[in-house]
A = this chain, B = another copy of it.
Amino acid sequence: MNIRHLVESQQFTVPLLMELFERTRAMEKIVARGGTRDYERSIMGTLFYRPSTRTRFSFESAMHRLGGRVLSTEHANEFSSEIEGEKLEDTIRIIGHYCDVIVLRHHEDGGARRAAAVSSVPVINAGDGTGGQHPTQALLDLYTIYRECRTLDGLSVALIGALDQGRTARSLAYLLGKFDRTKLYFIAPEEMQIKPDILDYLDKHGVSYECSATAGDILSHADVVYQTRIDRARLQKSDIDLTPYNIDGAVLSRMKDDAIIMHPLPRSVEIDHAVDDDPRAAYFRQTQNGLYVRMALLTMLLESE
């Protein structure tokens, strides 16, 4: 099984996901042993048009743990002092001479697809546009559920927050829809509820779901609570009470003993720091899984060369 570029999470079939996750599990062991030098002749270029230190560090650490090397910029728009901007396609063609894989964060929706279309080396989408894709986040989210719950079948997953714009929640809903007996709960203020395109997709694939403005009893039987941030400035009624969408000790006490709490981070007030020490708080393990998933992905793409 083979992919050349990673543009969007939709590229992943269930068998390809399982292959990726098997590799990811192997990467955990490799890191525990101190990494490998198998890729010491490979160069990864991280070409970020918008800074995102966490995502960049995660990819770069992954490449270093594989033994590889890194070219890095967080200000790819300063590509040249001579001309204001150059076509992304030209940039990709040139950078492809300097490295063996390109990790691209672009500010325009579809930027990664345009890059992949002309690139001589594999391109990994590390987030494009605001309504665009961030597929490695979706993959590490799914892997975290798989790793923590030991299965992806028959799970009840509650997604909470600004679900209309949250590309992580959207992508996760999409990927979970591929597995048997998934039950999804979308919990959000009405104006931020998940968009119809996702619901249409779930309907078509016979996935069970509920939309709700309040968590009610849902969190007490969910296997996974996936929390995202609500940007208060986006709310029309500024006096709306957002605390029902937050997770604190009281919410925690109602959750199942083997449930997990996830968050793509960075967080604001929506998860109380008192929750951090509970073993069900999986969000820091989630970021760590990002390292392993990205290592696994890099090996898949570099082998496809």
- Chain B residues near A94 (CB, 8 Å)? 54, 265, 284, 287
Q: Scan A258-283; emit 1 where CB is below 8 A from any B CB, else 0.
A: 00000001111000000000000000
A98 vs B291: C-alpha distance when bound (angstroms): 7
- Chain B residues near A266 (CB, 8 Å)? 79-80, 82-83, 86, 90
Q: Scan A77-92; emit 1 where CB is below 8 A from any B CB, else 0.
A: 0111111001000110
Q: Scan A205-245; emit 1 where CB is below 8 A from any B CB, else 0.
A: 00000000000000000000000010000000000000000
Which chain A residues in 71-118 approach chain B with CB under 8 Å? 71-76, 78-83, 86, 90-91, 93-95, 97-99
**B287/A57 in contact, CB under 8 A:** no
The number of times this chain is found in the oligomer is 3
**B265/A61 in contact, CB under 8 A:** no
Q: Which of B37, B58, B93, B284 contacts A284 (CB 8 A)?
A: B93
Q: In this assembly, does A60 line the interface, its C-beta being within 8 Å of a C-beta of chain B?
A: yes
Q: In this assembly, does A132 line the interface, its C-beta being within 8 Å of a C-beta of chain B?
A: no
A57 vs B98: C-alpha distance when bound (angstroms): 7
- Chain B residues near A51 (CB, 8 Å)? 75, 78-79, 81
- Chain B residues near A71 (CB, 8 Å)? 57, 60-61, 64
A69 vs B265: C-alpha distance when bound (angstroms): 26
Q: In this assembly, does A300 line the interface, its C-beta being within 8 Å of a C-beta of chain B?
A: no
- Chain B residues near A69 (CB, 8 Å)? 64
Q: In this assembly, does A10 line the interface, its C-beta being within 8 Å of a C-beta of chain B?
A: no
Q: Which of B76, B83, B290 contacts A53 (CB 8 A)?
A: B76
Q: Scan A19-52; emit 1 where CB is below 8 A from any B CB, else 0.
A: 0000000000000001101001101010100111
